[in-house]
Structure 1
Amino acid sequence: MGVEQIKKYADPEFSRSEVLANARYIFANTDEYMDFPRPISHKIIYIGGITCDVNNANSENLSDEYKHIFDSAEDGVVLVSFGSLAKSSEMPLENKEAFIKTFEKFPKINFIWKYENENDSIGNDLPNVFKQKWLPQKEILAHPKLLAFITHGGMNSVIEAAHYGVPLIAISLFVDQHRNAKMLEYRKTTIIVPKTDITESNLVNALTTLTQGESGKEYRQKAKTLASMLSSRPMQPKERFLKYL
């Protein structure tokens, strides 16, 4: 909610600067195991992952359609989603073609692609591409055969991937997404492909590094280690939020 809406509907005297100065705590949607090391005051309470219930998001709850996608993948599955604001169906055509050519280069990997236009036939001729208008993202991330997640780097996607131990290819688009991508690149669980450099060559190189050979094993191990650290904290985000509140 914007400042003007808060003044209109809640408090005509509302001042952002006064609220921040007088706040006893500021709950931040990030996590100290993910974020850059930095000095903070005692007011900052990390609650990143508060909506990410790892124990309840079970891949066994996936529909038969998704189970078939995972079961039929020889090497594994890659999830491709750019969130709810940036739609894959509205990408420039040259970007879509770069993705399609990349998918063709990995026939043993199945790609689940969040693609919002059901009438668009792009990629329909590829047997390893499965376009979906909506995705059960947490359950997909929880599946042990998921190799990687190609994402826009939104904070919720970044946090969920970290909690489930999934390495990323981050193609950040705007605002906080650039920092989010750098944050996990620093943790060595993410490869960044700039949005201005979406080419077949760059995508193939990034996906090969992230999923194949020793480099792929290293990225997956780093991602699993980060997930283990997040799950073994003395206080989980919900508990931390309630205690401080």
Structure 2
Amino acid sequence: MQYLPQLTVLLLFSLIACRIESSNGAKILAIFPFTGRSQYICGENYLKALAARGHDVIVISAYPQKKSIQNFTDVSLIYENDLFEEYIVDSEVLTLSKWEELNFAIDYLTPSTRKVLEHPVLQKWLKNGVTFDLLIVEVLQQEALYALAYHFKALLIGVSSFGTDMRIDELVGNTSPLSYIPSTTSHLTDQMNFRERLENFYIHVLEWIHNRFVMLPAQYELYKKYVPTPTAPFMEMRKNFSLVLLNQHFSMSLPRPYVPNAIEVGGWHIDHKPSKLPADMERFINAAPKGVIYFSLGTNIRSRNLSAKRRAILMEVFASLKQYNILWKFEDPKLPGKPTNVFISKWFPQSDILAHPNVKLFITHGGLLSTIEAIHHAKPVVGMPVFYDQHLNVARSQQKGFGVSVNFRSFTANQLKSAIVEVLENPKYAKRAKEISQLYHDQPETPVKKAIYWTEYVLRHKGAPHMRVAARNLDFIEYHNLDVIAVLFGGPLLALLVVAWVSCKLLKAIAGRGNVQRKKEKRS
């Protein structure tokens, strides 16, 4: 009882401090519009951390919280169907050309933009003049949503679940030399020969053309339809970013240049203390004689949509690995012919699974979140990339020596088993996974703390305009100095052409006079 007055005073000061922090918190709107669960997972810890620090966070997404969180409000997006639910990977994604793949992005991204813009809550805010201090939005070709920051009088922060690409580079004036930075949708690394650099250049040009003449016009049409007529140009509003937070880190990708307001926060979605596994999963993992293999194609590709042929190959291979137990993310409750050493579930706590010491291998589609989690927990991988950045991520795992790749288009039982046995029985892969994991973990602060620091830095400094490079305001010709090159090289070249033209005229004139003189001499 003697400590009661002191405790009361301490509690009172704590409450006052909390109240002050809350009153100084920013009013934040975050938009994560996609049906892919992994894209929301990418930023979820970050948003919760902002709320925990007293900021008032409103989130528009398809994944509302199941439990109430202080300072955290959900505005739910309800989709009638999931684009990937009917996504048959065997027949569609494997036959798309690069241009068709870019068009598929429109089919996936544009409905998400529309779903947000037509939402009655957002429409009410636009009509009532509601304002926010900060708008956080995923920078995945959602230009109509970026422009909302202008209407809400908000600062703008972008979140990228995969790092940067040419579209994100344009938003902040970042530079990505094509000679050693591969396109996100390629299978290339930073060590490219001439043919690969030519391929990388081709992909970049194709993406630029598609973005400029297909995607941007589609986004602008949505913006005009759902947003009140602005006084600022659309192309300017979409580039008013104070900061972009990139789910990447040089230890697992490549060292490369960034402008000051492009910040790497790779792995910020991972809770650093693993949670306890469900009892049935724990028992199954501990019962494996030589360890466990975890197999998942991620949240967008469903194993249940695989062809009967591919499922049969997978089950044949898993059944032959008798000394190992296999966890398989399979979305149906039953799998006919399932081997006894296979445990299926429509959901696994993936990061917690990979944290278990008896899990020896991760067979993955190569999504970036999965790749980061493999590195975080030092697990080697067998990659089976299907689309978008998965090919690039698996290529990097091979280059860095902690994984091998299997062709998802045409793999056979022998090819898959050989890859699994190679990674499991050759210690160099596990050793390399540990080395890269150590490089990744050697950071002065956790990725989510870094993200919070820079977010609040931008808020403190009213958008931090001093961090923005002038390149973001230059057009293509100015950015690449094509006008200067034209003057420096075009001027002298034009002068030479003029001199050559005049010289030709003079020579012809002189020659003509000579001919006339000779004719006169012949006549005389």
TM-score, reference length from structure 1: 0.88
Range 193-202 or range 77-86, more displaced:
193-202
Partner Cα distance (1:165, 1:7) in 2: 36
Q: 1:47: which partner in 2?
A: 265
Confirm whether residue 239 of structure 1 aligns to residue 456 of structure 2: no
Partner Cα distance (1:18, 1:159) in 2: 34
Range 173-182 or range 7-16, more displaced:
7-16
Larger radius of gyration, structure 1 or 2? 2
**Counterpart AA for 1:240:** K
Q: 2:374: which partner in 1?
A: 161
Partner Cα distance (1:195, 1:32) in 2: 27
Q: 1:204: which partner in 2?
A: 417
User: Map of 1:1-245 to 2, 5 A cutoff?
Assistant: 1=33, 2=113, 3=142, 6=145, 11=151, 12=227, 18=236, 21-54=239-272, 56-58=273-275, 61-123=276-338, 126-212=339-425, 215=426, 217-245=427-455
Greater relative contact order, per chain length (Cα 8 Å cut-off, separation 6+) = 1
Partner SS, residue 197 of structure 1: coil
Richer in helix (by share) = 2
1:112 Cα offset (Å): 0.4
**Counterpart AA for 2:399:** Y
Mapped contact 2:144–2:238 kept (Cα < 8 A): no
Partner Cα distance (1:199, 1:144) in 2: 29
Partner Cα distance (1:184, 1:18) in 2: 38
Question: What percent of counterpart residues are identical?
Answer: 27
Partner SS, residue 195 of structure 1: coil
Question: CA 1:239/1:17 → structure 2, altered by over 3 Å: closer, same or farther?
Answer: farther
**Counterpart AA for 1:195:** F
**Counterpart AA for 1:6:** L
Question: CA 1:19/1:220 → structure 2, altered by over 3 Å: closer, same or farther?
Answer: farther
Partner Cα distance (1:80, 1:50) in 2: 23
Structure 1, residues 40-67: CA drift from partner, whole Å, max 9, x if none?
333321011101123x214xx1122112
The RMSD of aligned alpha carbons is 2.2
1:185 Cα offset (Å): 1.9
Partner Cα distance (2:364, 2:237) in 1: 34
1:86 Cα offset (Å): 0.5
Partner Cα distance (1:85, 1:139) in 2: 20
Structure 1, residues 124-179: CA drift from partner, whole Å, max 9, x if none?
xx221111121111111000011111111111111111101111111111111111
Partner Cα distance (1:50, 1:17) in 2: 30
1:24 Cα offset (Å): 3.7
Mapped contact 2:143–2:238 kept (Cα < 8 A): no
Report how many aligned residue pairs link the two structures.
Answer: 237
Structure 1, residues 101-129: CA drift from partner, whole Å, max 9, x if none?
11122100000001111133231xx2211
TM-score, reference length from structure 2: 0.43
Range 64-73 or range 31-40, more displaced:
31-40
**Counterpart AA for 2:408:** K
